[in-house]
Amino acid sequence: MNQKIEIPTILYERLSAHAKGFDTPANVIERILEFYEEKMGVDSKREFSQEIKMPLSLEIVYYPNSELEFRKKLLQMKKAYICMHKVDGSTELKVWNASSINEASDINANLRSGHLRGWKKKGILKAEVSTNRDDLQFSHGLH
């Protein structure tokens, strides 16, 4: 996941002086960091090279055990909870107001076009969906 940083214009100009060809500021910073770490005898690459790769498809776990059983509960309750597990290790809980869901509704399509739209960009690795908040597995002990 990319992060944005703000730096003073003068520092940006100093970085630009070290650019080669089509270098980005990130490339220049990385070269400077590698030079510094080599001089200091440090190698942080190993520690930070284990980035989590985004899966090709989003795993959606339903409680109870299947989308069909979940739909039955959702039709009764008209509300569900979505726990999104993210790349950075955090979880985010959303309440799904499902008052317009009916017997013919495609639950997966509703989720993917609503709360889970843009899941890769949002850094979501997995989603758990239940009408009972206590079914969901929060990280960091949050409930």
Per-residue pLDDT tens over the stretch 78-99: 999 999 998 878 889 999 999 9
Residue 81 contacts residue 96 (beta carbons within 8 Å): yes
Token digits of residue 96 = 């799904």
Tell me the C-alpha distance between 42 and 82, whole Å: 42
Q: Is 49 left (phi over 0), alpha (psi -120 to 50) or beta?
A: alpha
Handedness of CA 128, 138, 83, 74 (dihedral sign): positive
Tell me the C-alpha distance between 74 and 96, whole Å: 10
Tell me the C-alpha distance between 91 and 74, whole Å: 22
Q: Is the pLDDT of residue 142 over 50?
A: no
Per-residue pLDDT tens over the stretch 94-122: 999 999 999 998 999 999 999 999 998 88
Cis peptide before 8 (omega within 30 of 0): no
Length of the chain: 143
E strand or H helix at 94: strand 91-97
Token digits of residue 108 = 């997966």
Mean pLDDT of 1-10: 82
pLDDT band at 143; cut points 50, 70, 90 = very low
Rg, C-alpha atoms of the chain: 22
Per-residue pLDDT tens over the stretch 10-69: 998 998 888 887 778 888 888 898 888 888 888 776 655 555 667 788 999 999 888 888
pLDDT at 86 (0 to 100): 86
Per-residue pLDDT tens over the stretch 123-140: 898 999 999 998 887 643
* Structural domain boundaries in the chain: 9-48, 59-141
Q: Which comes out higher in pLDDT, residue 5 or 3?
A: 5
